[in-house]
Amino acid sequence: MKNPGKMLFEVLNHLFKKPATVNYPFDGSKMPKGFRGKILFHPEKCIGCQLCVRDCPSNAIKIIKIADKQFEAQIDLGKCIYCGQCVDSCLKKAIEITSDFELAQLDPTKLKITVKGEPPTTPPPNQPNNA
Amino acid sequence: MLLDLFYILVFPGFLFLSAFALWAEYFDRLVYARLQNRVGPPWFQPTADFIKLVAKADLVPTAANPTFFRLAPIIALTAVCTAFIYIPLWSTSSLFSFNGDIIVILYLLTIPTLCFFIGGWYSTSLYCRIGAVRTVTQLFAYEIPLFMGLLAPALLANSWSITEIMQFYIDHPWFWAFNLIGLIVSLIALHGKLEKAPFDIPEAETEIVAGGFTEYSGRLLAFLRMTLDIEMIVGASLLAAIFLPFGLQSGPVVGFLVYLVKVLLIVFLFSIARTIFARMRIDQMIAFCWQYVVPLAMVQLLINLILKGIIIR
Amino acid sequence: MSGPEDFKIPLGPQHPALKEPESFSIALKGEKILGVDIRLGYNHRGIEKACESKSYLQAVYLIERICGICSHTHSTCFVQGVEELAGLQVPKRATYIRMIIGELERVHSHLLWLGVAGHEIGFDTLLMYSWRDREVVMDILAMVTGNRVNYGINAIGGVRRDISQEQIKDILAALKTLRERTLYYIEIASKETTIIERLSGVGILLPADAIKLNAVGPTARASGVDIDIRRDDPYAAYSEVEFKVITDNHNDVYGRTVVRMKELLESYNIIEQALAKLPEGPIAVRAPRKVPAGEVLSRYEAPRGEDLHYIKANGTEFPERVKVRAPTLANVQAVKKMLEDRYLADLPIVVAAIDPCFSCTDRLIEVKDLDQGETKILDWQKLQQLSIKYNQQRGLDFTAAGKRLQRLMEK
Amino acid sequence: MTSEEAIVTELTNKFHVLDGKTQVRRPRRIFSEVAYADFRPILDFAKDKLGFNYLNMITGLDEGDNLALYYHLSKNNAITLNIKTFVTKNNPVVKTVTDVFPSADVAERELVDLLGFKVEGLAAGSRYPLTDDWPVGEFPLRKDWKMKGEV
């Protein structure tokens, strides 16, 4: 019943197999469709309802009014937990999830990003009717 | 005189030995990784590790005895390097050969183990002390089968000199086959000496961090690791010389290549053993050695005695 | 020279055998363990307190981060409790999806455990193989839920993502590979001499002791205690699938290994059944923000045992009290018992055998200002400068290499 | 009569203080409330006579003037009996239950650390889960305790 070295043949087989390790930065950095990575903000769709701010579990997003019907988002990627709740909460689909996960930074200030819309002179293309 | 110095320091002495030892560590790690379906380190990894360690500061714990703590790695390294010059590599003669050299080599190979004990014990850290005690406990388990296994061919050749043992093999070419049990016994015992899994009890990472080596850093740790690497080569060369007498008369170049193959084969066997077993407990290891390995060694001695009594004479 | 008698050695808070910080202080006589003191709490992050200032919706994500390995466990347990309080009828399809993810999580957790157990007994090959195979289930989880851990699939009132037909195909294909591998590991675990020698007879917990010490999960089941919340107090869709509760009579670490490996096979069965009869329909109902006052006890069979959440609502958006009892807390008491008269070498595997998850156990960011005084904090750049200076003093200059690294980072 | 109701009947027959204070809220969940003075006999009865052999968890609650305790027991892993009891905040002294449920040890230490209960008869040992240098008299789970500093 007992058998010392039971794994011998299995390990010897692996001598002739390709290693399972992925050569990370060069290949295998693709994430499946729908992976929850960095969020993408579309300022032209935002109506400033602040629902995302209210639901964010880690206070990572701020929506600031910069002009009439013009909003910018301040996203702190260091605080963001990539749960995607803001995407679910947004009524106008102004926030979208991307599968970008390579966000490591040496400089912590680069983790805070601000997404601004077009300058106020051009009207937002997707004007909401019943905001 | 100058040539002797070249032999000792450069080839096949210290420099060659160090380079070969580091490369053998790479080979061992590569095979280990491939068997585990991993990529493994690049070829310069052990060398880079060595350089990195040498460049780092040596820290001596305040509670440790600085003299023994510093001396232990250096003596260990010296002992294994000294042992190497008495081992014949690709011909029947070594650099310095005399009757009884096989005994001297075996004792020189015991010194590192004792140094690991002394270094670990005088580190005074609790993990080190447990590791040190385990090192010595383990020594009592593998040392006797190792001696019995390695001295069995000497019994056959009726000489305590490796050169003469090899000469005996040239005269009786097929006698190595009778010593296969001794080879297996010596391989297991040497594996225990090198403290590799499943016999890595003295440095069992998940229990006592790094055992006797826990407090070592910088150059001293580099020496300790180098000692283990060189010990592996010296041990493998010794086994190759005593149990695998092939290519002894084929000239230096072919002989040297055959020698490399023999050593790497032994290292390869070690890598496989490291891959397919779980670490034993110290009590299991001692029971294993005394219940299985020592009786095997005795069988080998008995075979050789019978051979000597009946066939040769 | 005095002998190494009556050592008291520290294992942790930082130790190679422990993947998380907990402290074991072990009194030793030679190699024998005389007594063990366990100090928990190094991972206390104040999650229970933090829940009181988060809305139910936010709390789901916070609760999910109690633990990485059993994130679905905690979020499901919490969400079930809130749904019961709010009187929500969760759609059938959602309960099935929760169950499928829950079982996939169990597979991932047990395979992880197998690797850790291998490492603790010095068998790294098993670690490498089982963690490689674990990638299969991790990929499936990433594909279905959008992340490898902290799946974020639970919402109050249902689940956030649906499972598509292609995904079902991928899951079934993955299960085929996993089942093959699991059978192989069962064979290894029951044949390889060194593994059996290291595992059997180690960490004995007799059935009577298991009940007395209230052990849960595989730890209890390996001592012959036939308990499993999935069967005894069914939640999600467990009352609609057939499965066996695996028990074993070895009472030792070997038994716990066997139980976990066989549970893997049961999990594959459950997932296959669930995928075969996945009902059509919506995946979530709308949940109110305010939850009516009340209290509820929610139970869930985590990979490690029974997970309990007590939730008290006060009619506002925020919970009044959330109490979490992770399975490890129940089992850690049994560890002392298991270690009686064992050797130091057995300690890592005995501790690992309950599959401890100390971040679950401790829960509760330490946020209080404790007048730290002047702690000298070196930032990364200062540390780098110090090390460059040190090496230059010793005649080594890595400036060129450093510049190359800088260029690489900037790319 | 379901087995839950049978348990309730048996409890109320033996302890009249539980009349009207014990109810089955859903299958397998019995909730009950009792003053601390009457609590211990009920716990012993539940363990010895009713077969509630698992103490799953002890929850501590801050209810203003009172500190409440929930003892969550379970029988055959299915039916849970949740007994609530309370002591005043000024004098939050309870007796340990480690004599019948050894596993209550950690749970009681947690009550001491996080809610400021005083548990009589708890064996000496390390604290849990707060750090050893945690200030005396600070109990994070009490409602009047506020976080200082930034999260």
Of C282, C308, C340, which one is at a domain's C-terminal end?
A: C340
pLDDT, tens digit, for every residue of B58-117? Answer: 888 888 888 888 888 999 998 988 888 888 877 767 677 778 888 888 889 999 999 989
Q: Say what percent of chain D tops pLDDT 70.
A: 96
Domain extent, residue B175, equals: 2-312
pLDDT mean over B135-149 = 89
Q: Of residues B238 and C367, which shows the higher confidence score? A: B238
For residue B27, the model assigns a pLDDT of 93
Count structural domains, chain B.
1
Compute the mean pLDDT over every residue in chain B, rounded to the nearest whole number: 86
Q: Phi and psi (nearest 5°) for D123?
A: -60, 150
The rounded distance, in Å, linking the Cα atoms of C352 and C360 is 15
Contact C368 D147 (CB under 8 A): yes
The rounded distance, in Å, linking the Cα atoms of C126 and C174 is 20
Which CATH code, of 3.30.565.10, 3.90.660.10, 3.30.479.10, 3.30.70.3270, is assigned to A31-115?
Answer: 3.30.70.3270
pLDDT mean over A100-113 = 81
The rounded distance, in Å, linking the Cα atoms of D151 and D148 is 9
Q: Phi and psi (nearest 5°) for A27?
A: -145, 165
For residue B175, the SS3 value is helix
On the question of pLDDT at B44 being above 60, the answer is yes
Chain B residues 13-52 with a CB less than 8 Å from chain C: 35-38
Q: Are residues C137 and C191 both part of a single domain?
A: yes
Q: Say what percent of chain A tops pLDDT 90.
A: 0
Least Cα separation, residue B78 to chain C (angstroms): 25
Block residue for tokens 């959330």: C322
From residue B279, alpha-carbon distances to B191, C199, C345, D10 in Å are 12, 11, 10, 56
Cβ neighbours of residue A27 closer than 8 Å, sequence gap 6 or more: none
The answer, for A21 touching chain B at a CB cutoff of 8 Å, is: yes
For residue C344, the model assigns a pLDDT of 81
On the question of pLDDT at A128 being above 50, the answer is no
Contact A6 B276 (CB under 8 A): yes
For residue C394, the model assigns a pLDDT of 61
The rounded distance, in Å, linking the Cα atoms of C170 and C160 is 20
The rounded distance, in Å, linking the Cα atoms of A85 and A55 is 7
Block residue for tokens 């230059």: C392
Q: Are B131 and B120 in contact (CB under 8 A)?
A: yes
The answer, for C196 touching chain B at a CB cutoff of 8 Å, is: no
The rounded distance, in Å, linking the Cα atoms of C63 and C80 is 13
Chain C residues 137-196 with a CB less than 8 Å from chain A: 139, 142-143, 146-147, 150, 152, 155, 160-161, 184, 187-188, 190-194, 196
* Chains touching A, CB cut-off 8 Å, 3+ pairs: B, C
On the question of pLDDT at A42 being above 60, the answer is yes
Token output for A104 = 């490591």
Cβ neighbours of residue B89 closer than 8 Å, sequence gap 6 or more: B12, B237, B241, B255, B256, B259
Residue C275 sits in a domain whose CATH number is: 1.10.645.10
Best of B27, B272, B274, B280 to disrupt the A interface by mutation (most A CBs within 10 Å)? B272
Q: Are residues C101 and C208 both part of a single domain?
A: yes
Confidence of residue C54 (pLDDT cuts 50, 70, 90): confident
The rounded distance, in Å, linking the Cα atoms of B228 and B235 is 10
The answer, for C380 touching chain A at a CB cutoff of 8 Å, is: yes
Block residue for tokens 């009950």: D32
For residue A1, the model assigns a pLDDT of 60
Compute the mean pLDDT over every residue in chain C, rounded to the nearest whole number: 82
pLDDT, tens digit, for every residue of C221-233? Answer: 998 888 888 888 8
For residue C360, the model assigns a pLDDT of 66
Confidence of residue C103 (pLDDT cuts 50, 70, 90): very high
Compute the mean pLDDT over every residue in chain A, rounded to the nearest whole number: 80
Please report the number of interchain residue pairs, chain A to chain B, with beta-carbon separation below 8 angstroms. Answer: 35
* Chains touching B, CB cut-off 8 Å, 3+ pairs: A, C
Q: Per DSSP, which regions of B13-154 are E strands?
A: none
pLDDT, tens digit, for every residue of B254-293? Answer: 888 888 898 999 999 999 988 888 888 888 888 988 999 9
Q: Say what percent of chain B tops pLDDT 70.
A: 98
Best of D77, D105, D108, D128 to disrupt the C interface by mutation (most C CBs within 10 Å)? D77
Looking only at the bridges linking them, the beta strands covering D66-75 and D79-88 are antiparallel
On the question of pLDDT at A124 being above 50, the answer is no
Token output for C126 = 């098993």
Instruction: Please name the helix (run of DSSP H) or strand (run of DSSP E) that holds residue A72, with its range, or none.
Output: strand A70-76
Domain extent, residue C298, equals: 47-340
Q: Does a structural domain hold residue C369?
A: no
The rounded distance, in Å, linking the Cα atoms of B219 and B206 is 24
| Binding site per annotation, positions of C for Ni(2+) | 67, 70, 357
Cα first-last separation, chain A: 74
For residue C378, the model assigns a pLDDT of 45
For residue D93, the SS3 value is strand
For residue B16, the model assigns a pLDDT of 87
On the question of pLDDT at A125 being above 70, the answer is no
Q: Shortest CB distance from C132 goes to which of B37, B209, B280? A: B37
Q: Phi and psi (nearest 5°) for C308?
A: -125, 135
On the question of pLDDT at C62 being above 90, the answer is no
The nearest alpha carbon in chain A to B198 belongs to: A5
pLDDT, tens digit, for every residue of C188-230? Answer: 888 888 888 888 888 888 888 888 888 888 988 998 888 888 8
Best of C7, C18, C119, C128 to disrupt the B interface by mutation (most B CBs within 10 Å)? C128
The rounded distance, in Å, linking the Cα atoms of D119 and B72 is 54
Block residue for tokens 């008698």: C5
Confidence of residue C101 (pLDDT cuts 50, 70, 90): very high
Cβ neighbours of residue B313 closer than 8 Å, sequence gap 6 or more: none
Type of residue at C135 = E
The rounded distance, in Å, linking the Cα atoms of C217 and C225 is 9
On the question of pLDDT at C398 being above 80, the answer is no
The rounded distance, in Å, linking the Cα atoms of B4 and A122 is 89
Count structural domains, chain C.
2
Per CATH, the homologous superfamily of domain D3-88 is NADH:ubiquinone oxidoreductase Nqo5 subunit (3.30.460.80)
Confidence of residue D20 (pLDDT cuts 50, 70, 90): confident
For residue C410, the model assigns a pLDDT of 62
For residue C237, the model assigns a pLDDT of 87
pLDDT mean over A41-62 = 88
Token output for D121 = 């008869």
Q: Does a structural domain hold residue C68?
A: yes
On the question of pLDDT at C402 being above 70, the answer is no
What ipTM goes with this model? 0.85
- Name the DSSP class of C53: T
C104-138 per-residue burial string, b: 16 or more CB within 10 A, e: under 16: bbbbbbbbbbbbbbbbbbbbbbbbbbbbbbbebbb
Strand partners, C8: C27
Q: Of C385, C327, C284, C390, give the one whose Cα is nearest residue C77.
A: C327
Q: Are B227 and B73 in contact (CB under 8 A)?
A: yes
Looking only at the bridges linking them, the beta strands covering D79-88 and D29-33 are parallel
Chains B and D touch (3+ CB pairs under 8 A): no
Confidence of residue C387 (pLDDT cuts 50, 70, 90): low
The answer, for A13 touching chain B at a CB cutoff of 8 Å, is: no
Block residue for tokens 């002495």: B13
Q: Say what percent of chain B tops pLDDT 90.
A: 17
Contact C345 B129 (CB under 8 A): no
For residue A28, the model assigns a pLDDT of 67
Q: Per DSSP, which regions of C277-411 are E strands?
A: 294-302, 305-313, 319-325
The rounded distance, in Å, linking the Cα atoms of C172 and A78 is 37
The rounded distance, in Å, linking the Cα atoms of B298 and C214 is 53
For residue C320, the SS3 value is strand
Contact B129 C348 (CB under 8 A): no
Of C317, C340, C363, which one is at a domain's C-terminal end?
A: C340
On the question of pLDDT at D151 being above 60, the answer is no
For B271: left if phi > 0, alpha if psi spans -120 to 50, otherwise beta; the answer is alpha
The answer, for C279 touching chain A at a CB cutoff of 8 Å, is: no
Candidate from B309-313, C81-85, C275-279 with smallest mean pLDDT: B309-313
Q: Are B177 and B171 in contact (CB under 8 A)?
A: no
The rounded distance, in Å, linking the Cα atoms of A116 and A109 is 17
Please report the number of interchain residue pairs, chain B to chain C, with beta-carbon separation below 8 angstroms. Answer: 91
pLDDT, tens digit, for every residue of C331-358? Answer: 888 888 888 888 888 888 888 888 777 6
Candidate from A70-79, C68-77, C267-276, D130-139 with smallest mean pLDDT: D130-139
Q: Are residues C75 and C210 both part of a single domain?
A: yes
